[in-house]
Chains A and B, each alone.
Chain A
Amino acid sequence: MRTRVMHAFPETALERILDALEPELVAASDADILEAASDLGMKPQMKGSAAFIGLRYSSAMPRAEDFFDAQWMLQLLNDPRRIWLASAAATRASSRARPARKKAPRPPKEPGEG
């Protein structure tokens, strides 16, 4: 018979399971961690090990701080020219959103019209 991990409300069952499993990981010895890492082909002792992705090295999504230092970012954010340019861009965008209504071309005059 197949066992299913779902009897109580799913969120209650999940919370209980997570809370019960947390001490297992807190109590895991260094040897346990190294064994699990070796199962995955990782060597945490080596510099640049994949085990530290997300901890010491960024994961999939690069972040701004990976490329720019804090001072440069602050300067950029507080640069009045940048703020002025941003507000100008916003004004341009809003003016573009409502284009001026063009007059319809007048029909050609009839021969009898003055």
Chain B
Amino acid sequence: MRPLVDTRVLRPTESALALKLVSEMDLLRLKAIARLHARGLPPDVGWEDLLQEALTRVLTGARRIPKGVAPVAFIAGIMRSLRSEHWRRFGAARRRKDAPSGYRAYRTRELALRDTAPDPERSLIAAEELAAIERLFVDDPLALRILDALGEGLAPEQICAQLSLTRTEYDSARKRIRRCLLREGLTCAPE
């Protein structure tokens, strides 16, 4: 009788776990981060794709974790850059599609101005996701004000000054935000 050989393919998350690159708790942390970053991507790109891609890059050696850097922080950074890369590629593809072709493009290339208008699809997705984030914190007006300030690019000190918050109040609100994000990140509901 032929011996049973387990030839099942491990997913990148399972491989990372087996190689002790991350712990089970780290995987949950990464799930929450992946679900967060997937909010900045079109709906057809899921958080699983984002996380598996980031882990694949580490496992194949395409991205190497520098010494002294926590794997979770590094993998989170890869997911962030994958998110930016997606929109860069998407924008480039759109420009190629809209660009005049052949001789006309050659003649007008010096005069052509680069279209800097925001992509309507991206703006729509972003507006929907901002509304979804707003719904997450609908019962916490202070958290909403902090998120609003973060959206304007303010640093924590500036936020405290603008909203007249003590550091303790700010930290307490941040803790509530973190807990809410973790709850949302651990759930199995669609993003």
Contacts and interface: CB of A to CB of B under 8 A. Distances in A.
Interface of A: 3-11, 13-22, 24-26, 28, 30, 32-33, 35-37, 39-40, 42, 44, 50-56, 59, 65, 69-71
Given A6-B130, A17-B150, A51 B36 contact: no
B179 A36 contact: yes
Interface residues of B, number: 58
Given A10-B123, A14-B126, A24 B7 contact: no
Contacts, number: 154
Contacts of B134: 4-5
A7 B8 contact: no
B90 to A, nearest CB: 12
Chain A interface, >50% SS class? helix
Nearest to A73: B9
A36 B186 contact: yes
A29 to B, nearest CB: 9
Contacts of A37: 28, 186
Contact of B76 (A7, A22, A39, A40): A22
Contacts of A69: 7-9
B65 interface: no
B87 to A, nearest CB: 8
Given A33-B186, A44-B28, A25 B141 contact: no
A26 B76 contact: yes
B48 interface: yes
Contacts of A24: 174, 177-178, 181
Interface of B: 7-9, 13-14, 17, 24-25, 27-29, 31-33, 36-37, 39-40, 47-48, 51, 70, 72-73, 76, 80, 83, 118-119, 122-123, 125-127, 129-130, 133-134, 141, 144-145, 147-148, 150-153, 174, 177-179, 181-183, 185-188
Q: Which 6 pairs of residues, A with B, have the shortest CB-CB distance?
A: A13-B151, A36-B182, A10-B126, A69-B7, A11-B126, A14-B126
A98 to B, nearest CB: 32
A28 B147 CA distance: 18
A33 B123 contact: no
Nearest to B16: A55
B183 to A, nearest CB: 5
Given A10-B126, A14-B130, A22-B80, A59 B29 contact: no
